[in-house]
Amino acid sequence: MKRIMLLSLIALAGFSLSAQNIYHDEQVTVDKIEKGTYKINYRDAPNMSSMYVVVGKKKAVVIDAGDKDYDLMSLVRKCTDKPVVLLFTHTHGDHLGAMNQFEELYVNEKENLSQIQRNFKGKVHYVKDGDVFKLGGKSIQALEIVGHTAGGMIYCDYDTGNCYSGDCFGTGQVWLQFGSFDNPISVYLSQVEKMIGYMSTRHITHIYTGHFGQEECMYGINYIQDMGELARKMLSGDFESEHHNRSAESSPVRMTTLRRATIVYHPDRVR
């Protein structure tokens, strides 16, 4: 009996951890993460951005639109035939690529909207902290997390325990050096605490981030806790840092790491 239970636990664990590929060609991979939940990656995309599709009984949402204007909708249609709307985690160009394949999109008004206002032909809705998208038998709640951008949004699916964080917490590292909005480490720490509160009270267990690559792009709460511990160390001066390896030689941008979490920051913002 014990052995059967153990075997079925292993089988269950294997099922939830290993995504099932439903389509791939030289350029693109579409994986089913679990029931009604898909991940799309263009392997040749310069910034390796990830897109997610979450499907309810009546509607579906697509989270972010990738690096370039690829034929994203045809891939979404491999996942669902339901009506779809696009949700943006934030408005950096490497997540807006295929937006014009959608009729409607949702974005936080606090984001930089210039590219959307210039290029998007469809209807723009503003999403704010706490908004809920009812998809039929499944709800997605928006959670505002600032830091990477001025109005970053994470989308939480309480049904599966998944959330989709874009770059708000990043793929192994969060980039806090952008933007003219006031973005000190203390504000980011408050956002980390908000996220930990959400994850623990709403049973959000898996964080899917906005990029893929060498680093595994699915994390648990310990990743966010590490971000929090690192931010606290920065504020108390108890940390080591180095020049950010992806910034220009002359740039003041630095990075600091604790376990799997790296914070990329401007020295003026450590306060």
Enumerate binding residues for Zn ion (CB under 5 A).
92, 167
- Compare residues 38 and 169 and give the one whose CB is closer to Zn ion: 169
Q: Which is nearer to Zn ion, 59 or 92 (CB)?
A: 92
12, 14, 29, 31, 128 from 23: Cα distances, Å: 23, 20, 6, 7, 34
Report, in Å, the least distance between residue 269 CB and Zn ion.
Answer: 17
To the nearest whole angstrom, how small is the minimum distance from the Cβ of residue 167 to Zn ion? 4
Q: Give the whole-angstrom CA distance, residue 195 versus residue 154.
A: 9
Whichever of 88 and 198 has its CB closer to Zn ion, that residue is 88
* Distance in Å, CB of 208 to Zn ion, minimum: 15
Minimum distance from residue 220 beta carbon to Zn ion (Å): 22
Residue 232: other Cβ atoms inside 10 A: 16
- How are beta strands 218-219 and 242-243 bridged, if at all? unpaired
> Comparing C-alpha atoms, which of 143, 165, 160 is closest to residue 204?
160
Reading the block at residue 2, the tokens are 């014990």
Instruction: List beta partners, residue 207.
Output: 163, 219
Chain position whose Cβ is nearest to Zn ion = 92
Residue (106 or 135) nearer to Zn ion, CB: 106
Residue type, 262: T
H/E element holding 223?
A: helix 221-236
What is the nearest approach in angstroms of Zn ion to the Cβ of residue 172? 14
CB nearer to Zn ion: give 67 or 157. Answer: 67
